[in-house]
Amino acid sequence: MATEKLILDFVYEHEAQRAKQVLLTQPIGGGQVRDYTWAQALGESRRMASYLQGLGFERGARIAMLSKNSAHFIMAELAIWMAGYTTVAIFPTESAETIAYVLGHSEASLLFVGKLDTWAQQAGAVPPGLPCIELPLGPGIGSAVGPETWDAIVARSAPIAGQPARGIDDLAMINYTSGSTGTPKGVMHSFGSVTRGALGICQYQEKQLGPDFNYRALSYLPLAHIFERAWLECAGLLRGSGRVFFTESLDTFMQDLQRARPTTFLSVPRLWLKFQHGVYAKMPPAKLDRLLDIPIVGKLVARKVLKGLGLDQVKLAGSGSAPIPAVLIDWYRRLGLNLMEGYAMTEDFAYSHTAVAGKCSPGYVGIPQPGVRVRISGEGEVLIQSPGSMVGYYKQLELNAESFTADGFFHTGDLGEIAPDGQLKLTGRKKELFKTGKGKYVAPAPIENRLNECPAIELSMVSGVGQQAAYGLVVLAEELRPQLASAAVRAEVEATLKQLLADVNKYLPDYERLRMLVVAKTPWSIENGCLTPTMKIKRSRIEAAVAHEVDAWFAKPGTVLWA
């Protein structure tokens, strides 16, 4: 193990052997982009590493990054690693309160500030005296927290020489969870777990796509999250043969996607759903279904739809971070998109389960990746042992002991069952189970998945603790919301939801059936605190916001209510 090849070793090989190959493509505004070859990217990283090392921080010091995805996010991480330090990446949409917590809890020695939309509201979280470096395309932090910029430092610094090595057990990163259930926890990953997880991902991709596949990817899911970090950044750095494109802004997303023409594409259920809704806005579902059923014409239509989405070159697509409705997977596969669902966690470096050809049933999250072991506890909990397993939680030794079984399996907190062919099906979150007044537990996630299959719904939450029955709170699809002033549209939506409720309840046991569907007044978003940065619902936050209304909802007649 002492001589195990680690991620930086792969990077140094690629730097030498792929010097002129483009690694990163960054939009810089006005439709222009800047390409960075391996030599250029590592050249800048080496100069920054030299500067950081000269600051004299203790080895392993935590260096924080607050930035949207960009080429310099990856360059900064490489610089941090080469200098002998540990990365702490903070979600770029986090509140000032959470940013202050992470900076304090991690005892960050320095902060990189990059592309941000809300720096004015976040700047106050930076402790006085904390050194800051602004990345290119940053918000213009100025002298308030330090005038240093990446470009100025790189211009005057000599590159760090040789191949600075890190140990297997050295901490590469601390990933703070997105906090859907409370205070973020700092998940520690060593260079060993990062490398083993990324290597497993590369092997999976190579098996699915072949050794000479042309990898082109668009990085837009937060790099601060383990999913994008592991599957796109670290796997890409280890593999070496791919090219990563970045987005300029939400407004330019489709243009950025068309520029990248990715051959692999990762997304989360909410965005897969929004893509589908965008297609339906141009062509009603019934018409699209009819066209897809026509031989030859159907293939042409499917190809046109995927090209319009910028996904016609994609050979392998993935969905993770949250459950995706089975019918949505079927819809994309009908268009010819090879969409595979996966399941993993921050704690196993996103290396756990993924669908493969022949074992990709909608509703299941695939089979264990090579080296991963899984079993179901007596309580129905999924227990995982992964090569990418974390070192532990930063400064939370008591939690580390509770998180693993005596023989080293991680308590995922997810409930599930394993099919005879090895595919894993998730049936809910242990902590999300709740009892209604009928005294039996309700698992909300599977019911929410059924609700989310409806094109009229963007997001849903099932709740009802202590009530006579469970109920569903729904956010309507984005394109429907502006039309609700029309009585006719409102009536049509209500009829759709009534039918949906009846259809969903048919599949549920009596104690899980929903009493009603309530249409939320305000869409849930990252900005209003109802969604995590990875677009999972913050259940406790939403429940607290509507707690004073729930009794009144149950007192009203009808099965569809407007909050």
CATH number at 513 reads 3.30.300.30
Backbone region of residue 29 per phi and psi (left: phi > 0; alpha: psi in -120 to 50; beta: other values): left
Residue 408 pLDDT class (50, 70, 90 cuts): very high
Residues β-bridged to residue 171: 190
pLDDT at 499 over 50: yes
Q: Alpha-carbon torsion 54, 57, 61, 63, what sign?
A: negative
Q: Are strands 434-435 and 441-442 parallel, antiparallel or unpaired?
A: antiparallel
Residue 178 pLDDT class (50, 70, 90 cuts): low
Q: Which residues touch 349 (CB under 8 Å, ≥6 apart)?
A: 189, 193, 194, 196, 197, 198, 226, 230, 386, 388, 389, 390
Question: Where does 293-424 have alpha helices with state H?
Answer: 297-309, 326-334, 397-403
Q: Is 561 helix (H, G, I), strand (E, B) or coil?
A: strand
Question: Where does 147-234 have alpha helices with state H?
Answer: 150-156, 191-209, 226-228
pLDDT at position 117, please?
92
Q: Which whole number is the average pLDDT over 485-493?
A: 91
Of 172, 197, 222, the residue at which a domain comes to its end is 197
DSSP-derived letter for residue 537 is B
pLDDT at position 125, please?
95
Residue 1 pLDDT class (50, 70, 90 cuts): very low
C-alpha 469/C-alpha 34 separation (Å) is: 56
Residues β-bridged to residue 112: 65, 133
pLDDT at position 2, please?
44
C-alpha 103/C-alpha 130 separation (Å) is: 10
Q: Which residue has the higher pLDDT, 210 or 66?
A: 66
Work out the mean pLDDT of the chain and round it to a whole number. 92
Question: Can you tell me which residue has the tokens 């046991």?
Answer: 509
pLDDT at 172 over 90: yes
pLDDT at 70 over 90: yes
Model pTM score = 0.87
C-alpha 135/C-alpha 57 separation (Å) is: 20
pLDDT at position 439, please?
79
Beta strands in 320-372 (DSSP E): 339-343, 353-354, 367-368
Residues β-bridged to residue 411: 383
Residues β-bridged to residue 186: 176
Of 161, 180, 197, the residue at which a domain comes to its end is 197
Instruction: Examine residue 347 and state whether it is found in any structural domain, yes or no.
Output: no
Instruction: Examine residue 383 and state whether it is found in any structural domain, yes or no.
Output: no
Q: Are strands 62-66 and 110-113 parallel, antiparallel or unpaired?
A: parallel
Q: What is the pLDDT of residues 246-302, one digit of tens each?
A: 999 988 998 999 999 999 999 988 889 889 988 988 888 889 999 999 989 999 999
Question: Can you tell me which residue has the tokens 């505004």?
Answer: 29
Residue 182 pLDDT class (50, 70, 90 cuts): low
Instruction: Examine residue 409 and state whether it is found in any structural domain, yes or no.
Output: no
C-alpha 275/C-alpha 260 separation (Å) is: 17
Among residues 115, 151, 148, which one has the least CA distance to residue 133?
148
Q: What's the total number of domains in the chain?
A: 2
Q: Which percentage of the chain shows pLDDT scores above 70?
A: 98
Displacement of CA 91 from its chain's centroid (Å) = 11
Instruction: Examine residue 476 and state whether it is found in any structural domain, yes or no.
Output: yes
pLDDT at position 22, please?
97
Q: What is the CATH number of the domain that holds 35?
A: 3.40.50.980
Of 163, 197, 231, the residue at which a domain comes to its end is 197
Q: Which whole number is the average pLDDT over 197-203?
A: 96
Q: What is the pLDDT of residues 344-398, one digit of tens each?
A: 999 999 999 999 988 888 889 999 999 999 999 998 999 999 999 999 999 988 8
pLDDT at position 268, please?
87
Q: What is the 3-class SS of 268-308, one letter each residue?
A: CHHHHHHHHHHHHHHCCHHHHHHHHCCCCHHHHHHHHHHHH
pLDDT at position 134, please?
95
Instruction: Examine residue 278 and state whether it is found in any structural domain, yes or no.
Output: no
C-alpha 460/C-alpha 309 separation (Å) is: 25
Instruction: Examine residue 307 and state whether it is found in any structural domain, yes or no.
Output: no
Q: State which residues form the domain around 104.
A: 31-197
CB-based burial, 201-239: b 16+ in 10 Å, e otherwise: bbebbeebbeeebebbbbbbbbbbbbbbbbbbbbbbbbb
Question: Can you tell me which residue has the tokens 């309580």?
Answer: 379
C-alpha 535/C-alpha 533 separation (Å) is: 5
Dihedrals φ, ψ of 52, to 5°? -60, -45
pLDDT at position 434, please?
87
pLDDT at 483 over 60: yes
Q: Which residues touch 129 (CB under 8 Å, ≥6 apart)?
A: none
Displacement of CA 157 from its chain's centroid (Å) = 35
Instruction: Examine residue 544 and state whether it is found in any structural domain, yes or no.
Output: yes
Report how many helices (DSSP H) and strands (DSSP E) the chain contains, helices first. Answer: 18, 26
Q: Which secondary structure element, helix H or strand E, spans residue 87, and what is its range?
A: strand 86-90
Q: Which percentage of the chain shows pLDDT scores above 90?
A: 71
pLDDT at position 446, please?
87
pLDDT at 63 over 50: yes
pLDDT at position 179, please?
56
Instruction: Examine residue 167 and state whether it is found in any structural domain, yes or no.
Output: yes
Q: What is the pLDDT of residues 2-57, one digit of tens each?
A: 468 999 999 999 999 999 999 999 999 988 999 999 999 999 999 999 999 999 99
pLDDT at position 146, please?
55
Q: Are strands 381-385 and 373-376 parallel, antiparallel or unpaired?
A: antiparallel
pLDDT at 549 over 70: yes
pLDDT at 102 over 80: yes
Q: Is 242 helix (H, G, I), strand (E, B) or coil?
A: coil
Low-confidence winner among 16-20, 172-176, 521-525 (lowest mean pLDDT): 521-525
Among residues 196, 188, 178, 185, which one has the least CA distance to residue 234?
196
